[in-house]
Homo-oligomer: A and B are copies of this chain.
């Protein structure tokens, strides 16, 4: 069965966005190479290492769960299903303008557990990617996250939105499963010990 993978770009001091929800510095590694990497409805030029790594990750991904905040901040990703897989948006109220049959998005109003369960069904044997700090935090609290995929970016942002926050007082044990050094980013993968 596929794994539920929380995925992020993160600064060395643990921020996944600056105080204004900006993420520019955290994604520079996606613009600094000579190897085409088509994703998010566009083509990035990154390093051969990062391109190969992400191609492999995306090939293993069968569904994507994220939150309303990212949906709004990104302006619905221009209406594009960014990972090319079924996309489940956790929200309190589904936006009426996107409730059309050909919408690339499925809105889930009964919580992260439900979203991950539906994404699992859609993903089949492939992995479910979970993004959005609040969604991931709720996923951790519910014990639903199997793996963490982090693109660690060499910058100290000093302030912003933390990925790992509000996780509760109990430590969560991990196993380091993969370490890939690439230009401008270190790709780290951890398994949650259950």
**Given A148-B12, A164-B12, A156 contacting B176 (CB threshold 8 A):** no
- CB-CB under 8 A from A165, the residues of chain B are 13
A21 to chain B, nearest CB (A): 15
- CB-CB under 8 A from A78, the residues of chain B are none
- CB-CB under 8 A from A155, the residues of chain B are 171-174
Contact bitstring A164-179, B, C-beta under 8 A = 1, else 0: 1101111111111001
Is A76 an interface position by the 8 A CB rule? no
Flag if A174 contacts B25 (CB, 8 Å): no
Is A190 an interface position by the 8 A CB rule? yes
Flag if A158 contacts B154 (CB, 8 Å): no
A18 to chain B, nearest CB (A): 8
Is A186 an interface position by the 8 A CB rule? yes
Is A188 an interface position by the 8 A CB rule? yes
Flag if B190 contacts A12 (CB, 8 Å): yes
Flag if B14 contacts A13 (CB, 8 Å): yes
CA distance A159 to B165 in the complex (A): 8
Is A181 an interface position by the 8 A CB rule? yes
- CB-CB under 8 A from A60, the residues of chain B are none
| Residues in A lying within 8 Å of B, measured CB to CB | 12-14, 18, 25, 140, 148, 150, 152, 154-159, 162-165, 167-176, 179, 181, 184-186, 188, 190
Task: Known pairs A13-B167, A154-B173, A154-B176; list 12 more (Cβ under 8 Å).
Answer: A12-B148, A12-B150, A14-B162, A25-B171, A140-B156, A154-B175, A155-B171, A155-B174, A156-B164, A156-B167, A158-B168, A179-B179
